[in-house]
Structure 1
Amino acid sequence: MRRAPELPDADFERWRQLLETRAGMVLDDRQRSFLQIQLAARMRELAIADYDSYYQVVCAGISGRIEWVRLLDRLTIQATRFFRHPPSFALLEAYVSEFARTTEGQGLTLWSLGCASGEEAFSMAISTAEVLARQARPLTFALTGTDISSEALRQARQGSYSLQRLAGVSASLRERYFRAQADGSFEVAAGLAERLCFARLNVLELGQAPLQGLNVIFCQNLLIYFRRWLRRDLLNQLVQRLAPGGLLVLGVGEVSNWSHPQLVPVDHPEVLAFTRQPDHPA
């Protein structure tokens, strides 16, 4: 494999500004090598010799917008796996159980932001389905997964995973919620998959998302890409998407010294989460 050409300082700064402006992503000097490798790989595919020429392609009208989406697929590679942070899913199950016990509603709505290739969203769905299956009265749920990467969403919609990628799923859950395929992969069972939908969303355009009145929002391992002021702005917008009593689960360490007058912190030693206070009539 040929070595990626060096990314000059001026080009690095220009690409860094473009990523922050368009996607909110903040790259520091430690990520320079990663950016250089990903840009160079795409440039080789397009037979483009220098970073400036590729920058012009990305910024050129409709064709540039298409190429921008393809580039983002390379740059938003996320390390993810099923039940990545077990305490968060234990909290989710406790919340769903309490919801089923105390509410008169007929179902829950959930949202996985930055769902990548679907592992978090399907983990949320499995946890929710497991709790609801034990309830005396019938309850259902719907879950939306969003991500900026079209390629990641394509994988999520396929709902097909290797045995290695299912390492966090117990044998009993794998038997209930996945179907073995002839090629050795496992496909999400239709009964579970039909509860989910996946859509592309740039969180900088969060205001355009039609989701409202959600019972659960997971936003983990996403905010780390953004500046502190933007993290707070996005969180304030998410609060408005929560139903009264809804649960917001964040990544531990992704935000500090943030509070909201409509939220109450969840008392949990291993999970950063909040619930929205019930609305009170004026």
Structure 2
Amino acid sequence: MVETRTDPSAGSGIWSLRRLPEMDEAQFSQWRTLLEHRTGMTLTVERKSFLETNLGIRMREIGCNSYQAYYEKVVSGPEAIAEWSILVDRLTVQETRFLRDPDAFRLVSDYILTRPREALKKRPLEAWSVGCSTGEEAYTLAMLLNESMTKLELPPLFGVTGSDISKPAIEKAQRGLFSARKLITMDEELKNRYFRPAERNTVEIVESIRQRVCFTRLNVLELNHAPMHGMNIIFCQNLLIYFRRWRRREIVKRLAERLAPGGLLVLGQGELTDWQPPCLQRVPSENVLAWIRRQSDEE
């Protein structure tokens, strides 16, 4: 997309019609270090073009014509906090949809259906979608919990929390409006039960499900400050792939601490290999990477 915004500092001319110079290695290293320090996410050299593209789009929007000038704006400018918030949204929000991983969600359903009925009657089920993006995963969990409680002929005693580092993503999730393409993996019965037509060819989550889901902004580097505790289900898929191996282990340790005894932790396939998290027991499955927290805190 070509923009015709004028750079106020350039006098005249439409600088944004020109191609930005290629980012040199020092600049790439500087941006990569900043992103890892603040979010924990690591950009490989192969994703340099991804960084250039997303920085370039934002720089054109605000009339900034050098990577260094934009870096200084993000780090120490008068609107640094707001600008960083916008940029991190561009760099971290990923494409998602409802029921993205059917095998993982089936495992969640089986987990609920095999819980002791008395326990489900006494205490509400609490689920947490970590890195929830625009909310599809969190709402999917709420639908599955509702379906499972219905099958068990129990009242819908459950709640779901979705967390993400991106403020714009969280705000969109809270609205509960989605394009129809987000529902392509759902069968018609579920669509009709949990969605209603809305404005501009979108659909919205029914109120009974929206009331069960809340969203909050959270950086996974700050899990030690997270208020979530005693969770029955923690769902964290397609997030750890952006972190270094040692940091993945640290994040999983923190998540495990927030599970209730007997709670379920679900990750994405291949996101954690050759390591057994403390106090967790692997769920035997060929298609899903998941653990159960042991009833005893002994490791």
User: What interval of TM-score do these two structures reach, taking the shorter chain for normalisation?
Assistant: over 0.9
- Distance of aligned partners of 1:102 and 1:5 in 2 relative to their CA distance in 1, 3 Å threshold: farther
Q: Quote the sequence identity (%).
A: 44
Q: Where does residue 125 of structure 1 map in the other structure? A: 142
Map 1:1-282 onto structure 2 (within 5 A).
1=2, 2=17, 3-60=19-76, 63-99=79-115, 101=117, 103=119, 105-279=122-296
Q: What code does the residue aligned with 1:76 have?
A: T
- Distance of aligned partners of 1:62 and 1:90 in 2 relative to their CA distance in 1, 3 Å threshold: farther
Q: What code does the residue aligned with 1:172 have?
A: E
* Per-residue deviation, residues 178-222 of structure 1 (Å, max 9, x unmatched): 111243211000000010001111111111110000000001100
Question: Root-mean-square deviation (CA), in Å?
Answer: 1.5
> What secondary structure sits across from 1:235 in the alignment?
helix
Q: Give the Cα separation in 2 of the matches to 1:132 and 1:218.
A: 19
Deviation at 1:238, TM superposition (A): 0.7
8 Å CA contact 2:127–2:234 kept in 1: the answer is: yes
* Per-residue deviation, residues 225-270 of structure 1 (Å, max 9, x unmatched): 1000000011111110000000000100011012133111101110
Structure number with larger C-alpha Rg: 2
Deviation at 1:37, TM superposition (A): 0.9
Unaligned runs of 5+ in 2: 3-16
Unaligned runs of 5+ in 1: none
Deviation at 1:122, TM superposition (A): 1.0
Deviation at 1:102, TM superposition (A): 5.5
TM-score by length of 2: 0.90
Q: Give the Cα separation in 1 of the matches to 2:155 and 2:63.
A: 57
Q: When the two structures are aligned, how many residues end up with a matched partner?
A: 281
Q: Give the Cα separation in 2 of the matches to 1:5 and 1:212.
A: 48
TM-score by length of 1: 0.95
Q: Give the Cα separation in 2 of the matches to 1:49 and 1:162.
A: 35
Q: Give the Cα separation in 2 of the matches to 1:22 and 1:212.
A: 24
8 Å CA contact 1:16–1:26 kept in 2: the answer is: yes
